[in-house]
Every structure is written in structure tokens, then in C-alpha cells.
Amino acid sequence: MLETEIIKRGDDSGNGTLIKYTSPTGAVIKAIGVPQSWKTTLGPTWCYVVEGAGLTLVDPGCFGSVSYLEQGLEQLGHSLTAVDHIVVSHGHMDHDGSCPPVVRKSGAELWAHEIYGSMLQADRWEMEMGWRREIQGFQAFETSDTVASVREHHELNRRLTLDHPVTDEHQAGGFTFYHTPGHSPDELCILFEQVLFSGDHILPLITPHPTVTMSYTSFQSTLPAAYRDRNEIYGLKALLTSLKRMAELEGDITVLPAHRAFHRGVLNPIGLERATEIVEHHRNRCHELTDIMKAGPMDLASLTRKYFSGRELEEQNFFLAFSEIMSHIELMQESGDVSVTVDSANGKVWSNGLGPGVLVRWEGSDLFSALIDRL
């Protein structure tokens, strides 16, 4: 296990907090709680500072918050201009948003998965949003300030160059990179001295949002050649496969996540067992969905509303809940537990066979569980 010392306390969720971790092998890793630049209960992105062969930052943090990163680095005795490498866990705004200013001020080399490089160049917003526009409440989201930031971030990041594209099990600079797609197609877990930087792949307290397999169709032609044959990078199945793989890594490994390492005043240390807990969370969610579908065929929006009925779903975040449910239904279509019928009077069918006017029906089986076991 890691020895942990809070060097400086920030707020209760960890914004502005500095933590020093020392591994049993004597390696020192420092963490900066870099605040998000939009209103959220997520808490900061934990940016990890590794002083080895040069100064490396793992996830510089959210678009619009580089001043907090700079301040944290100064308090740790480093100048932002001295950063040698940036390692990005995946291309979401709260992780790689500060890449452009850090690269500009330091000339740092950018390291990430090779899919990250292709995503930088793609017209991501339009490719991601097509089907989402057909989901209720999406318009409110698309015109929000958060989305304005996401789009600005995509545009600025298109000018970045991926200096050091990595692939699965690549080793360099003391790091071993594992490609762990599912939450994001380019997600990496990064092993350094028995410490696994897990990005959003393995998180304490919360679970990463799965992508949907349907997104593969949108991005297929923009991916590096090795990923164009079949989908192993989008959807719940990809996420569960990656989680099970990380759970099986050998050694006394401590996980350092990008979120919730500290929350409500307490540290949340985790190990690889958390990856298994997340797999079981999704298996359980499939079971809970079969319970709701017992009532008879229903469309995905009704299923989403029934599933989350105990919780308040903000209109503009409804699509997040909807796509979370859709990722589970896609898995249960593959396992043969769910069939669909199209209500032709009521709209479109998407490439995954689902859509706003499609009714999903439970077949009375739980084959998904065996499918998860086989991954």
C-alpha cells in the first residue's frame, strides 16, 4: 500500500488539495486536486505529478483551470514551464483540457493512446451528437454553457500534436500502458511502480459512464487501421472486458483514480478489487432492468424513467441516464435476453436496432450473466 500524506488541504471535495504518495519501493507521486471549470458535484480532477526521468503530469485537468494547476505545481516546487511530459488518460475535457496551455508554456511532449490522436482530428462533436439530438431534453443540454466549453475545448485541442502515441502494453519512461476502452475508446490505465493511474476507468464511490456500441459506427472510419475491423472499444461489453483485465493484474497494486480520491473530507484508497465491484454493479443493473421489463414491452425513454424513478433526472441530463440504460440493453440484445419491435408510427431506428420508437422486450432469460462471466 501507499503511504499517504496530505501536504495542503483545500476544500471538502479536494479542490486545491495537495497529496504526497510514497510507494513501498520509495517512488514519490504527488497529486493536485484541480477544480472543474463548470458547476458539478464531481469534485476535482486529480492530476498526478511524477518526478522521474523528467517531470511528468498524468492528466493536467479541466479546460479553463490551468491557473489552478500552475498554482498547485508551484506549491510543490515546480514551474509549469518545467513540465517534460504530459500523459493523458483519455480525451475528455476534465482530463486533457489543459493540454494546450501546458504544451504552449513548457513545450512538453504529449503522450496518449493512438486512438486519442485520431479523435483529436475528427469532427467529434457532430459525430457524437447525431443520435443524441433525438433524445428528449438534449436541446437544453446542447445550448448549455458546459457544451459551449466542450466545443471550444475540441477546437483548441485539434491543434495539438500527439508526440508519443501508445498502444496496449507499451512500455516507456518507467510506465506500462494498458488500453482499457469502454468509458472512452482511448482510455488508458498506466502502471508506474505498482501504482495504477486509472483515469476514469476505475473510480472510488462512483462508476464510469459506459459508451454505447452504436458510437463505433460513427467513428469507425476515423480510427487507426487496427481498430476498423470490429468494435472492441465502445459499449458496456468493452468496459467490462477492460475492468476484468485490470482486476487480474498481478502484484500489490494501488489504484490512483482521476476523481474522488478524496471526497467529503476523507481519502478513498482503492485497489484492483474496485474493478470487480464495478463489473458486479453493472451485472446487478442488468438484473434490475429485467425486473422493470417484466411489466411488458416499453420504449427506452420509459425504461430509463422507471429505472431512475427514485432519483431526480434533470431534463438536460436525461440523455446521460438514457445512454447508460441503452448500453445495458445493447449487452442484453447481444446475450439474447432482449428483443425489439419497431413502432413504425413513432420515429427512427438507430444502427444498434434501438431508437426513440423502438420497444424493448425481455425474453425471460438472464443469459447476460454468463456472457459477463465469459469476458
Give residues in contact with Zn ion (CB under 5 A). 94, 200
Q: What is the DSSP letter of 351?
A: T
Q: What is the DSSP letter of 311?
A: S
CB of 92 to Zn ion, least distance (A): 5
**Pairing status of strand 3-8 against strand 358-362:** unpaired
Is 57 in contact with 66 (CB distance < 8 Å)?
no
Query: Quick one: angle between helices 318-335 and 300-307, nearest 10?
Result: 110
Residue 20, strand partner residues? 5, 30
Decide whether 257 or 356 has the Cβ nearer to Zn ion.
257
CB of 89 to Zn ion, least distance (A): 8
Decide whether 94 or 186 has the Cβ nearer to Zn ion.
94
Decide whether 10 or 199 has the Cβ nearer to Zn ion.
199
CB of 355 to Zn ion, least distance (A): 28
Decide whether 43 or 356 has the Cβ nearer to Zn ion.
43
CB of 287 to Zn ion, least distance (A): 27
Cell of 132: 443524441
C-alpha distance across the termini of the chain, in Å: 29
* CA gap 7, 218 in Å, rounded: 45
CB of 93 to Zn ion, least distance (A): 8
CB of 335 to Zn ion, least distance (A): 29
- Per-residue burial over 250-278, b = 16 or more CB atoms within 10 Å of its CB, e = otherwise: eeebbbbbbbbbbbeeeebbbebebbeeb
Decide whether 70 or 94 has the Cβ nearer to Zn ion.
94
Decide whether 94 or 337 has the Cβ nearer to Zn ion.
94
Residue 199, strand partner residues? 257
CB of 200 to Zn ion, least distance (A): 4
- Give me the phi and psi of 359, to 5 degrees please: -95, 135
Decide whether 47 or 195 has the Cβ nearer to Zn ion.
47
Residue type, 158: R
Rg (CA), the chain: 21
Decide whether 141 or 368 has the Cβ nearer to Zn ion.
141
What H or E segment, with its residue span, contains residue 5? Answer: strand 3-8
Closest Cα to residue 185, out of 273, 119, 283? 119
Residue 48, strand partner residues? 31, 58
